Amino acid sequence: MNGVLDIQDIPKMLEWYLAFLFSTTLHEAAHAWTAWKLGDDTARRGGQVTLDPRPHIRREPIGMVVVPLASFWFGGWMIGWASAPFNAYWAVQYPRRAGLMAIAGPLSNLCLALLAGLAIVAGVAIHLFQAPAVLQFGHMTEALNGGWAEILASVLSILLSLNLLLGIFNLLPLPPLDGASMLLLFFNRQTAAKIFGVIRHQTVQFFGIYFAWKWFGYVFRPVQRLVTHLLYPGVFY
């Protein structure tokens, strides 16, 4: 986009934003629902055990509205964040439950990416979609003909790319990402309490985000190539 939004870009922006809203809301609702079922109803009392994006937007308006739209404006795709509250005392008392809560969010995104991928494979099988001439993030398939199939191909491409990114990025074992809290699954309460204190330290979280962005490409690109191979066996980019 290079900072210039043309009127023709608005439909694509809406596709991206609806996909972002649904994917991010699903991620946070998965956190909230898992915590509730495992004994912490903090997020449920905040109204976040829901696929309605409004409670999540109210909690994180910058990450759910401003940053996604700005990232599309300047880069042509969307990124942002949301959050679900939880009881830190509960997490320390039940570290394995907290670890399951943490992994629920990215797993929900990977499940959504899987569904989008299966829909693309089905579309290829019935000659609705084909491998794109140029593979790009957010452009994982294209319609053989125009019309509604072109819109569907675009939406599925965005859902696959975005949820693959959200799932893998959040599984990196670096604070404040979910992958760091997932480590609580493997330690006893005393050790987990020490780890929990470290990963919630603001300085540690700052460096965690820095290294996550720095290293993410080395993790994501091989996964993206694998997914592409599974979608289109024998096709190489």
The residues that are catalytic are 28
Q: Whole-angstrom Cα distance, residue 92 to residue 85?
A: 15
Q: Whole-angstrom Cα distance, residue 189 to residue 130?
A: 51
Contact indicator for 81, 72 with CB cutoff of 8 Å: no
Name the CA dihedral angle for 20, 220, 110, 83, rounded to a multiple of 10 degrees.
-50
- What's CA 224's distance to the chain center, in Å? 14
DSSP for 91-110, written as a single string = HHH-HHHHHHHHHHHHHHHH
